[in-house]
Structure 1
Amino acid sequence: SSLTDKIKLQEEDKSENKKIKSFEELEKETRESSLKTLDDYFKFISELDRNDWFGVFVNAISSRFDPHTNYMAPDDKERFDVSISGKFEGIGARLQKKNDFTEITELISGGPAWRGKELEPGDVILKVAQGDGEPVDISGMRLDNVVKKIKGPKGTEVRLTVKKVDGTIKVISLIRDMVETEETYAKSSVVERNGVKYGIIYLPKFYIDFENKDSRDAGKDVAIEVERLKQQGVSGIIMDVRDNGGGSLKTAVDITGLFIEQGPVVQIKSAGTKKEVLYDRDAKVQWDGPLVVMVNNFSASASEILAAAIQDYKRGIVIGSKQTYGKGTVQNVIDLNQFVRGNTVGDLGALKTTTQKFYRINGGSTQLEGVASDVIMPDRYSHINIGERDLENAMPWSKIDAAPYDTWKKQDNFEKALQNSKSRMALNEHFQLIEKNAKWTKERKDAAVYSLKLDEFKKEQEKIEAESKTFKPITDYQNDLKFKPIPEDEVVMQKDESFKEKRERWFESLSKDIYVEEALNVLDDLQAKPVTKGEINLKKKGVKSK
């Protein structure tokens, strides 16, 4: 692969006075850089100290219990605390180890990787280079060392050689920047269609500041956004928790409470103890109109609690991936220093351990199975096991007694809206192309046999590239909708250029989003006075590009 990359780069280089290297020279360079990478890896192994090996040993044991129980050495604990506070210089991507490889699990909204639009969850990082320096192969390297190579001062360049989800190899250049938490806050937009106004609230995580009760939290912020959308006279709200990995459970209960009268929201159980039920005790409903919750494979933990509660109450329609992530467990961090009196050996680090399990109000766990969407929309991960069920030693699904609750009675055309959406799914050519792409992505991910004859290998790679081009209309899609800021944001946009750029980028991504378009179709169908047939944008032709 490295050799064919070098040959291809040389063929594509259009610069003048370039020195054309022979095949033999390129092969010699490739062998030398591969040997250097292996030498670096063994050098790194030889540099591990007693504390490192202790961490490896303890985690080999703890990971047998479940994927979320692990020992954190003092350095790791410090990094964990930084990640909770959420301000650092880097590219703004979360990584995890998959065997010898480093995989991207999440892009932090507003960070360089998110802005660049070239990286996506599921991509595997093969090499890291500092600017135009020599790329270092990171296979087999420890995650914290990979992170050290990718992080760095604001304004510096890092180049990642990445194996994309579909199997193609790309070199992606990123300029490091300050990754801010501002983009983790709730935000909303208004869109008008056929004379009807709708609101969308995007929540990237369920944030809270445990130290300061007066500071912002997701529950308070979403309540404010709902109120602002009501003032704009919207007839339906989309709650978008796609890619939301969770956070504070309390805020998930508060947000659910905005949409229901009162009652249980989630059940929690520890081993050998009675279940605990968390309630919305406020009879006030802040929004009682049509509601759609958008989820995907990466909606996890607290996101799944919100989606499950809205679904169990039949309060709104959940649309998105076949199922959400499936993380139905709760972890606590235990400082190990508290157990040693008169500690003379130094900082002992901490243990992050799974202590409880989440259950829906209907009694079913969100563990492994996540939340199944009411309307399933294909995406590129449709045929790939992504989520808790893909992790070793994941805890099983289980069931407890349901909590008593009454379903929402104010939505008459619930079933009809579901049927209409499923009919549109079947007719829409663009969704059919996405489904075809999902099957192709699965084939590419499972491909494990490569020819060792250079010409054959090159032919295989060319075929993959040609096939990937047939799916280009997916990224070229436009939905002809104009997403606008709420007045409060408009004021800030006029004063703050960076805020303005982030909001406009969000509006642009919404106008290319077929999933949001279908969410609006569902809101049309949920109206008390239905929008007439001619007005609903069925788009039977589906694929459009601009």
Structure 2
Amino acid sequence: MSSLRLKVGLYAFLVSAVFVLASYKLYHRTTSRAPQKDEVLIKAMLQGLSAAHYQPEKIDDAFSKRVFDLYLKRVDYNKMFLLQSDVAQLRKFQASIDDQVRVGSHEFLDLTTQIMDQRVKDTQALYRDILSKPFDFTTEESVETDSDKSTFAADKAAQREQWRKFLKYETMVRISEMMDAQAKKDPKVASAEPNRTPAEMEAEARKRVLKNYDDKFSDLLQNDANDRLALYANTIANTYDPHTEYFAPRDKESFDIAMTGRFEGIGASLGEKEGQIKVSEIIPGSASYRQGELKAGDIILRVAQATEEPVSVEGWRLDKAIALIRGKKGTEVRLTVKKPDGAIKVIPIIRDVVVIEETFAQSATINENGKKIGYLRLPTFYADFNDNGGRSSAADVRKELEKLQKEHVEGVVLDLRYNGGGSLQDAVEMAGLFIDSGPVVQVKGGQGAATVLNDRDPRVQYSGPLVIMVNKYSASASEILAAAIQDYKRGIIMGSASTYGKGTVQRIFDLDDVLGDFSSLKPFGSLKLTTQKFYRINGGSTQFKGVVPDIVLPDAYSYLDQGEKEADYALKWDEIGAARYRTWNSPTLPLDKVKVKSQARVATNPSFKMVNEMVQRMRKRKDETVVSLKLAAFRTEQEKAKVESNRYEEIKKAAPTLAIAPLAADVQALGGDTVKVNRASRFTKNLKKDIDLTEAVAVIKDQI
């Protein structure tokens, strides 16, 4: 890998040189006036993207239209501020943004800012007036909750009606939550809060909505030129691909949070999209992981500190929402989330630190009718990138395989579900544990031939039957490992219809380092851009399409619009020449026979049948975005959503129980440490009713 690191280092140096050259030319081209920060930033960023991005775009009218569409979507994500006349006025710049960035002007940004500032002031007076009067929740009317299906208001009267319905909807949601909370109160237990009448609930709900909007608009009115420039710059970057981003200059902690989206307090990774804070990952071993109700795909609507009043985070910046959710270990945060099927749920989480041991590889044994099967879970491809003596996921998986072999397992299930990736080198080394020496993945820049990363160790750590479990949240390095095992025909890939589809590599550049001639305008922030793409050894990319399993199982989350293909301007799938490799034949994988047997079992399995039925209901409910504003009808629909949302847990409880247990050697090593013993039992407890794992074990048995 040393030659690869050298190439990457030289590449980074060349990119930096391009940035410096861009700034030098920019500086000497400016004669009549000093350069402004926005023009320096945008021009330098575009120079860097044109020189170093994997697939640089032409700065032309098509580029201009992409920026226009995405910026309009970002600046008024729910179409509540701009009027159709405003959009028509802005649309005049749809084909000229490319010309503006070339000469360093910013008429589109300036006019958008001017119009939005005025509309924010107008709508502030509007929502306050609407919320000053009671709503009638007995009338038959409805509201569209999907911004993609709504339109900009034709005039101010239509806009007022749009706001009235939306504020009525938000008030109704809070009334429903108060009704649920009041119904759960034990009449025998004294409460500090007396029961409210319907009229009192309505008044209190409007008061809460008013406070949330006052807070939100206070932030909107404080947005300055740097905030607007950051949004505009990031929009331009995102038109290249969803992983190319501009990060505004903030303090180090906020900068790191913006890049990772990780919450120290609850242990979740979040992202911001179109004004919504969405859960993208739950960190294994974290407070959220142990609590169990917060899931990837959930949208966080409101945040409350224990029993305090919830604060709406809709429309908030990601870093600000993070600051509200983070907190000291042992304190409670209550998240009001909207599930993908529309159900609204309050989730209480006691903040804690991530239990590091639970983020590492762990193994167990499953006894199935006299057959002992090994189970190995890998939550992420971790590595010690700074060579400080830390742990490596490849080395840990090797050790777990050794322990499983000492237990005389007859097959191994490697679980990569919800594994978002990590160290590429560890993925390469890990593949080598299951195959003879040979290529594992191809990495290619925008120009030139692909570099083939090989496993050079001819030793095979484990040669028995192998199943790799994946789902739509298995990404990046997980997809590389799964694809290699599939291409070698070394094992069977099982899971949802496809994995995530992230097959790109990003690098981060500090713009302050490469714009040295503009010290007076610093700080500029950083640019993360896509520089390379992953390709399987068969030549196909893992980008966009992901990895399609050999055996597809019904997936409770298949109705979610998750994955690379759902992102704006994602790079498309393509292919290059295949690497030279020989498929596994020690013994030959009986894939066709195993697949037929699995399909027959799944078709007659009551649990999988219920999952399929649930998915169809969830998909239908997700598409029904028009919501009744009649309180009784709304609560009836919410109750249906809650019932269906809980059906999956009921399915799991009804499933057969797997005889899974931690390794005897691991339990013995824990000794009398009750905390660690409890962690070990938690690891296997959630797997005992895992219907996908049960089928994976059956597939292993078919191979034995």
Fold in common (TM above 0.5): yes
Query: What residue number does 1:236 align with?
Result: 411
Contact 1:87/1:178 (<8 A) preserved? no
| Paired letter, 1:404 | R
Distance 2:647 2:528 in 1: 45
Match of 1:262 among 423, 434, 437: 437
Out of 181-190 and 241-250, give the one that drifted further. 181-190
Contact 2:271/2:278 (<8 A) preserved? yes
Match of 1:144 among 307, 316, 319: 319
- Displacement of 1:376 in angstroms is 0.5
- Displacement of 1:378 in angstroms is 0.8
Distance 2:499 2:252 in 1: 29
| Paired letter, 2:682 | R
How do residues 239-254 of structure 1 correspond to structure 2 at under 5 angstroms? 239-254=414-429
Contact 1:128/1:150 (<8 A) preserved? yes
Query: What residue number does 2:240 align with?
Result: 65
Deviations 1:431-454 (A, max 9, x none): 010111111121222221111222
Residues matched between the structures, number: 527
Larger radius of gyration: 2
Deviations 1:33-77 (A, max 9, x none): 111111111111223344333321210111111110111234375
Aligned residue for 2:516, secondary structure, equals coil
Deviations 1:427-475 (A, max 9, x none): 1111010111111121222221111222222232233344456555313
Distance 2:576 2:236 in 1: 29
- Displacement of 1:178 in angstroms is 1.4
Pair 1:493 & 2:679 matched: no
Match of 2:591 among 403, 406, 414: 414
- Cα distance change of structure 1 residues 442 and 81 upon mapping to structure 2, 3 Å threshold: same
- Displacement of 1:84 in angstroms is 9.1
Deviations 1:273-330 (A, max 9, x none): 2111111111111111100000001000000000000001000000011100000111
How do residues 171-190 of structure 1 correspond to structure 2 at under 5 angstroms? 171-190=346-365
Distance 2:660 2:474 in 1: 23
- Displacement of 1:9 in angstroms is 2.1
Please state which structure has a larger fraction of its residues in strand.
1
Pair 1:390 & 2:566 matched: yes
Contact 2:479/2:542 (<8 A) preserved? yes
How do residues 46-445 of structure 1 correspond to structure 2 at under 5 angstroms? 46-75=221-250, 78-79=253-254, 81=256, 89-212=264-387, 214-341=389-516, 343-412=519-588, 413-445=590-622
Out of 137-146 and 49-58, give the one that drifted further. 49-58
Contact 1:188/1:485 (<8 A) preserved? yes
Query: What residue number does 2:637 align with?
Result: 460
Contact 2:512/2:524 (<8 A) preserved? yes
Contact 1:88/1:178 (<8 A) preserved? no
Aligned residue for 1:179, secondary structure, equals coil
Aligned residue for 1:396, secondary structure, equals coil
- Cα distance change of structure 1 residues 213 and 250 upon mapping to structure 2, 3 Å threshold: farther
- Cα distance change of structure 1 residues 510 and 317 upon mapping to structure 2, 3 Å threshold: same
How do residues 8-19 of structure 1 correspond to structure 2 at under 5 angstroms? 8-15=180-187, 16=189, 19=194
Aligned residue for 1:43, secondary structure, equals helix
- Displacement of 1:27 in angstroms is 0.8
Aligned residue for 2:627, secondary structure, equals coil
| Paired letter, 1:524 | K
Aligned-residue RMSD, C-alpha: 2.1
Contact 1:223/1:258 (<8 A) preserved? yes
- Cα distance change of structure 1 residues 463 and 258 upon mapping to structure 2, 3 Å threshold: closer
Query: What residue number does 2:657 align with?
Result: 480
Distance 2:566 2:489 in 1: 30
Out of 374-383 and 345-354, give the one that drifted further. 345-354
Contact 2:614/2:644 (<8 A) preserved? no
Deviations 1:171-199 (A, max 9, x none): 11111111243322111111222222111
Distance 1:63 1:309 in 2: 30
| Paired letter, 1:367 | Q
Aligned residue for 1:210, secondary structure, equals coil
Distance 1:80 1:391 in 2: 23
Out of 77-86 and 333-342, give the one that drifted further. 77-86
Residue segments in structure 2 that go unaligned for 5+ positions in a row: 1-172
Aligned residue for 2:537, secondary structure, equals coil
| Paired letter, 2:581 | Y
Distance 1:507 1:80 in 2: 37
Query: What residue number does 1:3 align with?
Result: 175
- Displacement of 1:382 in angstroms is 2.0
- Displacement of 1:349 in angstroms is 2.8
Distance 1:465 1:384 in 2: 17
Contact 1:88/1:179 (<8 A) preserved? no
Aligned residue for 1:507, secondary structure, equals helix
Please state which structure has a larger fraction of its residues in helix.
2
- Cα distance change of structure 1 residues 467 and 102 upon mapping to structure 2, 3 Å threshold: same
Distance 1:469 1:258 in 2: 40
Aligned residue for 2:467, secondary structure, equals strand
Distance 1:85 1:253 in 2: 24
Contact 1:265/1:279 (<8 A) preserved? yes
**TM-score normalised by structure 1 residue count:** 0.92
- Cα distance change of structure 1 residues 493 and 85 upon mapping to structure 2, 3 Å threshold: farther
Contact 2:262/2:268 (<8 A) preserved? no
Residue segments in structure 1 that go unaligned for 5+ positions in a row: 528-546
Q: Which runs of 4+ in 1 moved over 4 A?
A: 79-88, 344-347, 466-472
Query: What residue number does 1:542 align with?
Result: none
Distance 2:598 2:375 in 1: 19
- Cα distance change of structure 1 residues 505 and 80 upon mapping to structure 2, 3 Å threshold: farther
- Displacement of 1:414 in angstroms is 3.0
Distance 1:469 1:264 in 2: 45
Query: What residue number does 2:89 align with?
Result: none
Pair 1:513 & 2:513 matched: no
Aligned residue for 1:3, secondary structure, equals helix
- Displacement of 1:163 in angstroms is 1.4
